[in-house]
Structure 1
Amino acid sequence: MLKIGIIGIPGKWSTETLADAIESRTGYRRIIDMAEVELDLAGKRLLHGDTDLCSLDGLIIKKISASYSPNTLDRLELLRVAEHAGVRIFSRPLNILRLVDRLSCTVTLRNADIPMPETRVTENAAAAMSTVRKFGSAVFKPLYSTKARGMCVIDAALSDSDMQTQIQAFQAENPMMYIQKKVALPGRDLGMVFLAGKYLGTYARVSQSDTWNTTIHSGGRYENHLPPDDIIELARRAQAPFEMDFTTVDVAETDAGPIVFEVSAFGGFRGAKEGIGIDAAGLYSEHVIREISAK
């Protein structure tokens, strides 16, 4: 019997769905909350309760923490101990590390010549104000966040004093400011799903209000979408440098052509299921089992 643990959040739908899929195929079930894991460096053990994760056949990282933060990077470093001990981890911690930090993801995408919204990154408040004036309207994004949490839009129509107040409020929580030009979207953006680099399908997140983003967290809904081949190829190129076992690429169609917002560190099971009708947890589980069994 293969022993494959799920790194995730107990009780959350995507974590439990993946654990169900693994259990139905192996008979083994273990959900691991990284907040409960202890590293014993001298003993070279990574303990979750009475189980040494270094003794498992594999680990699947579905969710490393409820929200992204530098602490997320520390949790990924702990998992490198299990990987060094020979445990197969999906996706590899080093690959996920490059995606959890929005700046690291952006630099990799731009180095690969992937089209993205015009972006400035700075710790200088005066430079941030100048950027807002240049962009007309700018989205300020934390370097560690999911589902648009912590993001805000600052508009060039504000007075200097009001703009300065909003920028200072953002920078109080985010010393390094990541600023993107707000682009006009057609009321939707796309989640393009990949398993081990193979394209599975696309769901659209469709806005149900006049909010500036389309996330489900902000009231959007999922729909099936059939993008043209050139957008599929763009998404394929975007995810390729990260070598993820499972991921989604966030793409938007604009008047100037398609752009990529980001590549996901963990991928969206619910969007794949509700938008496309794909059992991503089942397909992912079968991929993991094949890879472990083949070694």
Structure 2
Amino acid sequence: MTDLRIGVVGIPGKWSTEALADAVEERTGFRLVIDMGHVTLDLERGTMLYDNIDLCKLDGLIIKKISEIYKPDVLDRMEILRYAQARGVQVFSDPEAIIRLIDRLACTVTLAATGVPIPPTVITEDPEVALETAAEFGTAVFKPLFSTKARGMALIEGDSFRAINQIASFASNNPVMYIQKKLDLSGKDLGLIFLDGEYLGTYARASQGNTWNTTIDSGGKYEPFEPDAELIEMARKAQEPFGLTFTTVDIALTPQGPIVFEVSAFGGYGGAKYACGIDAPGLVADHVIGKIRG
């Protein structure tokens, strides 16, 4: 046990949040799960209150999840956490690093700059360009800039007579259209796990039906997977610019070779546990305590 007071930012009742809070409590004797929807920042008083606890007086904060659903206002929650960091609270991962990942476009731009292979991608606000892109790609995946687990994504056939209406419907909620070519993923994609830049293991998400994505919410199942050194190095290169405490890099194996879809802002504890036998909550808690204690 230590005398450290470390809070866990997440979704109360969710397995990964509670498992991380349990791991912190086992090591410190202190347990606090923080729902950012109930945090009040008072800049004049310099306080950040949650359940009558001033978060600015904690030793550390671990961000497991910032919201159940990604949307632009989660960036404001990250700014609130950035204030706690400015007041001397150690925050894991760095809020500025997470901000660059919550917006899908910001993540993709950084990935493209690293030179790792990504799917053919076009960003436009022009419906005519979007239609031309869908036709060029054959089948295109239209993705909201703020979403997780494939929520809000639209699969559009470029030569379909419905494409114009589908694009108009998507654009009504997503004026900046993020469009990627649908690739043959052979029914699975990979999550390569990193703690503070160190590779830990890999899991696969395998589709269990005729859904076009492999997310667990769509029925995908976790499976173990052994990547080669080249794949691990690709993932390491992808996650390196972000400097996250814990993350997973999503990679798909296509007939044209492996491609990187995204770097996760928070990482997947479930895949680490069920496919790899990795105790992500315990490892993260140990890492954070070690960093705070110096």
TM, length-normalised to structure 2 = 0.99
TM-superposed CA distance for 1:163, in Å, is: 1.0
Q: Where does residue 212 of structure 1 map in the other structure?
A: 212
Q: Where does residue 83 of structure 2 map in the other structure?
A: 81
TM-superposed CA distance for 1:114, in Å, is: 1.1
2:247 maps to 1:247? yes
Equivalenced residues, count: 292
> What are the residue-to-residue correspondences of 1:124-273 with 2, within 5 Å?
124-159=126-161, 162-273=162-273
* CA deviation map 1:90-138 (0-9, x unaligned): 0010000000000000000001111000000001000000000100000
Which whole-Å CA distance do the structure 1 matches of 2:182 and 2:83 have between them? 41
Which whole-Å CA distance do the structure 1 matches of 2:226 and 2:159 have between them? 37
TM-superposed CA distance for 1:157, in Å, is: 2.8
TM-superposed CA distance for 1:187, in Å, is: 1.1
Q: Which residues of structure 2 form unaligned runs of 5+? A: none
* CA deviation map 1:22-66 (0-9, x unaligned): 000000000000000000000111111211100000000000011
CA RMSD of aligned residues (A): 0.5
Q: Which residues of structure 1 form unaligned runs of 5+? A: none
Which whole-Å CA distance do the structure 2 matches of 1:18 and 1:65 have between them? 16
* CA deviation map 1:133-167 (0-9, x unaligned): 100000000000000000110002302xx211100
Which whole-Å CA distance do the structure 2 matches of 1:214 and 1:168 have between them? 26
> What are the residue-to-residue correspondences of 1:102-113 with 2, within 5 Å?
102-113=104-115
Match of 1:14 among 2, 13, 16: 16
TM-superposed CA distance for 1:255, in Å, is: 1.1
SS at match of 2:66: coil
Amino acid paired to 2:142: F
SS at match of 1:203: strand
Which whole-Å CA distance do the structure 1 matches of 2:86 and 2:215 have between them? 37
Amino acid paired to 2:101: L
Which whole-Å CA distance do the structure 1 matches of 2:179 and 2:158 have between them? 13
Which whole-Å CA distance do the structure 2 matches of 1:211 and 1:66 have between them? 23
TM-superposed CA distance for 1:73, in Å, is: 0.1
Amino acid paired to 2:55: L
Amino acid paired to 2:23: A
Q: Percent identity?
A: 58
Contact 1:44–1:81 (8 Å) recurs in 2: no
Q: Where does residue 282 of structure 2 map in the other structure?
A: 282
Which whole-Å CA distance do the structure 2 matches of 1:170 and 1:275 have between them? 35
Q: Where does residue 118 of structure 1 map in the other structure?
A: 120
Which whole-Å CA distance do the structure 2 matches of 1:52 and 1:229 have between them? 45
SS at match of 2:217: helix
Amino acid paired to 1:194: F
Which whole-Å CA distance do the structure 1 matches of 2:95 and 2:255 have between them? 37
Amino acid paired to 1:144: F
Moved over 6 A (4+): none
TM, length-normalised to structure 1 = 0.98
Which whole-Å CA distance do the structure 2 matches of 1:47 and 1:80 have between them? 14
Match of 2:4 among 2, 5, 14: 2
Which whole-Å CA distance do the structure 2 matches of 1:235 and 1:255 have between them? 18
SS at match of 2:88: coil
TM-superposed CA distance for 1:81, in Å, is: 1.0
Match of 2:67 among 42, 60, 65: 65
* CA deviation map 1:226-275 (0-9, x unaligned): 01110000000000000000000000011111100000011000110001
Which whole-Å CA distance do the structure 2 matches of 1:109 and 1:18 have between them? 28
Which whole-Å CA distance do the structure 2 matches of 1:49 and 1:279 have between them? 29
